[in-house]
A and B are shown apart, each in its own frame.
Chain A
């Protein structure tokens, strides 16, 4: 199957979510694998700004024609910005999952949580094992 390379500068959660960590803030999104498994997205249900998110817990929903899926936070913190453009154009997550398809920016409550996430190489190994 065609798969996009997962960027080396991100950290990955086993639920197929990524975090781009920048000091005590991070940007979250879903991986190429996740968007491919879901199919073309037709709805994004955004969280509220200021909401607290917990690592491993859902904070938003995305839907394809066939199914709804929770978006899981790879790290804990407070949402400081939401990618509102996804409300009108959720398919951006499909076309650019690691760029314009980012979902939220979060002020991290415990940046050390990042140590539990996978790097790109480990994530790709994990995908291969899921087979």
Chain B
């Protein structure tokens, strides 16, 4: 049996009575009090997630920028020091090796925060293509990462608002950390990158400030409501960015791995598209369920905010338009769903803005 890795916060999860599950080689909390109350805490107030299992890869040197520009889909020249960018690591076929956020620490030093399940793949991918003047290092075990998310998150932490996708050095009650204005929930919030051995102290202070501890269960339902794709479910090496609706993070006017194939797909129009849908009949869509009109569900769950089944899946492009009717095969029972505009849930729309 393979030993599961534990984050610096493991003992605290146990103390809080978390239900721990294996995830990407880590023993992680899937829930504390329950997925639904945790989900609603993030939508209405403030929740904190231990996401220390995510990978951190550092790329440093005079050629670091050019190296990343040739491998990542988004245009890294559009950011500068203190700025972050959502981007894709693509393969020659235009498929998605991983989706990640790149942080420009200074002009010659970048941090990539990557999916836990892809850390080794990404590292190998970068190392195989490494060039002089761009050194790649896995620094994952140096850090703990806490995602503090929700409309009151910054207030509760006593942090000033800052534009999304920026980051700066900061501190919470004397614990130094990097405050990244990023997240995976569709809410206001930040991700706190902290030295691994101070992660526990930071967690305690964030909880003391009123954040509700949240597990990976709520993290998944939150990201699905706002239609953030999950690598391994909705996107992967065999799905391209255009069909996945991620053309907006692909700078097709520059050169990067797979760009020619992506240009071709965009020009021809993808045959299928990743659509979001809401169930109109009882039943909860789950990953792998067939869609009668073609395709299958790549992510599905109960939406705690809408209180009905929601999901995403690749469907024939003509059916990806909002309003199209789909039929989901819920364990032999055909159940009607309707394609909706992404995201399924939007904070701005709820605010009336």
Q: Which residues of A contact B (CB under 8 A)?
A: 39-40, 42-43, 45, 61, 63-66, 68, 87
Contact = CB atoms under 8 A, between A and B. Distances in A.
A61 B301 CA distance: 15
B311 interface: no
Interface residues of B, number: 19
Contact of B35 (A61, A65, A68, A87): A65
A42 B302 contact: yes
B185 interface: no
The A interface, classified by DSSP as helix, strand, loop or mixed, is strand
B81 interface: no
Contact of A65 (B282, B301, B333): B301
The B interface, classified by DSSP as helix, strand, loop or mixed, is mixed
A39 B283 contact: no
A61 B34 contact: no
Given A65-B217, A65-B301, A40 B283 contact: no
A65 B331 contact: no
Contact of A39 (B34, B301, B309, B331): B34
A63 B301 CA distance: 10
- Give the 7 A-B residue pairs with the shortest CB-CB distance, closest first: A42-B302, A65-B35, A65-B302, A40-B34, A63-B284, A40-B36, A43-B284
A85 to B, nearest CB: 14
A80 to B, nearest CB: 23
Contact of A40 (B30, B35, B284, B331): B35
B47 to A, nearest CB: 15
A45 B283 contact: yes
Interface string B299-311: 0011010010100
A63 B282 contact: no
Contact of A66 (B217, B282, B331, B333): B217
19 contacts: A39-B34, A39-B217, A40-B35, A40-B36, A42-B302, A43-B283, A43-B284, A45-B282, A45-B333, A61-B331, A65-B39, A65-B301, A66-B30, A66-B35, A66-B217, A66-B301, A68-B284, A68-B331, A87-B282
Given A42-B302, A43-B302, A64 B35 contact: yes
Name which of A39, A42, A65, A87 has the most chain B CB atoms within 10 A of its CB: A65
